[in-house]
Structure 1
């Protein structure tokens, strides 16, 4: 992942400067297009390298993620059995002392539908 940041930084820093440097060296359009082709090829190779890096990272993380899903899945199922409907509760409130309070809505509050669309 460290390589990803370094490669991205190099790519971002070289993109704005490369056409300017080529324009100063030569005013020949064929040389400039050749330089841009080389720049594009370099960027393509960079992206392929980053893809390989991310793929390797995903393969390293796969066992840990499977283990996490195996542990979290049953706990989430148990939570869903305890809480019948999340719409029956207000949003959690954090008190000044750090306590978290989750209040159940009253029947009157349950009947009131929000007006208009809710943006997510």
Structure 2
């Protein structure tokens, strides 16, 4: 699926800047429940051109790819999902699988167009 520009999204604390983002439909690989704001990493692209992603775990060789746009519940092994490929995000609203902190991955996120900010209320 090609990238799409969108101006339709939920106003919540995930965004920390202008609401212009690039969204993309993907196949989400994993098991369990994943919340909006989960960071994902690229796995592969199928013959139809659809990317497969999985939760970003922040390993040394892992690269972030996007941010989960909506909650996903995976009952089998994959589920269709939407991700954001760019934008400005609230540090406190982003999620990473495992025991690592998002704040330790700000540079990697910036390299792929995901800008992380600390939002003061």
**TM superposition score normalised by structure 1:** 0.20
Q: By percentage of residues, which structure has more strand?
A: 2
**TM superposition score normalised by structure 2:** 0.20
Q: By percentage of residues, which structure has more helix?
A: 1
Instruction: Pick the structure with greater CA Rg.
Output: 1
Select the structure with the greater relative contact order (CA < 8 A; seq sep ≥ 6).
Answer: 2
